[in-house]
Amino acid sequence: MSVAMCPGSFDPIHLGHLDVIRQAHELFGSVVVVTMYNPTKPSGLFGLDERQAMVTESLAAEQGLGNVRVETFPGLAVDAARAVGADVIVKGVRNVTDFDVEMQMALTNHSVTGVRTVFVPCRPDLSFVSSRFIREIAQYGGAVHHLVPAPVSRRLAALPPR
Ligand code: PNS
């Protein structure tokens, strides 16, 4: 049986991510969620440690996902997969824009180490959810509690108002 890695910047983790992790867990049984840097998104909100803390707390609170491992990795996804012992990467795809980006990453990663990427479709009712807009709305005091797990909602609510 394969070990699946769900990598992401998780800045912050949201309900769409949790759905993808749950799908990976159903498909592969053994899942490692790895919080990473996205070099194309340097101006994030939370640091790596806080993002990982939110991932850990959110997964612990989820029914049936408490045994999913959580790691951080500062480098390449292919090296993270090797480091955590994963032989497949699982990515959620929300729309064709995601698909274009993810397809290129999957093929590039495969060409580098041979690691395979499996795409899972995001739940339709969550397919509009993005960390970027959650960050933007929360920083201006808007309501995003319905889009994120409780540990994230608490931290977003504690942000200083803009
Ligand atoms: O949640 P995100 O921001 O969509 O996650 C993207 C992430 C972190 C998985 C991606 O940026 C990544 O793989 N970063 C590590 C750097 C890397 O491996 N780059 C080569 C990509 S082909």
Per-10-residue mean pLDDT of the chain, 162 residues long, equals 94 98 97 93 89 97 91 96 97 97 98 98 97 96 97 95 78
Please say if 130 is a catalytic residue: no
Spatial neighbors of 29 by CB under 8 A, at least 6 apart, are 1
Q: Would you say the CB of residue 35 lies under 6 angstroms from ligand 1?
A: no
Pairing of strands 3-8, 30-35: parallel
pLDDT of residue 41: 81
31: how many CB neighbours lie within 10 A of its CB?
Answer: 25
Q: What is the pTM of this model?
A: 0.96
Q: Which of 125, 38, 114, 39 is nearest to 81 (CA)?
A: 114
Q: Would you say the CB of residue 7 lies under 6 angstroms from ligand 1?
A: yes
Give alpha helix (H) positions in the chain.
Answer: 15-28, 48-60, 77-84, 96-113, 131-139, 150-157
Measure 93 CA to ligand 1 centroid, in angstroms.
Answer: 14
Measure 95 CA to ligand 1 centroid, in angstroms.
Answer: 17
3-state secondary structure of 35: strand
pLDDT of residue 43: 79
Atom of ligand 1 minimally distant from the CA of 79: 18
pLDDT of residue 67: 81
Nearest CA to ligand 1 atom 15: 76
Q: Would you say the CB of residue 105 lies under 6 angstroms from ligand 1?
A: yes
Quick check: 139 and 162 in contact, CB under 8 A?
yes
pLDDT of residue 81: 98
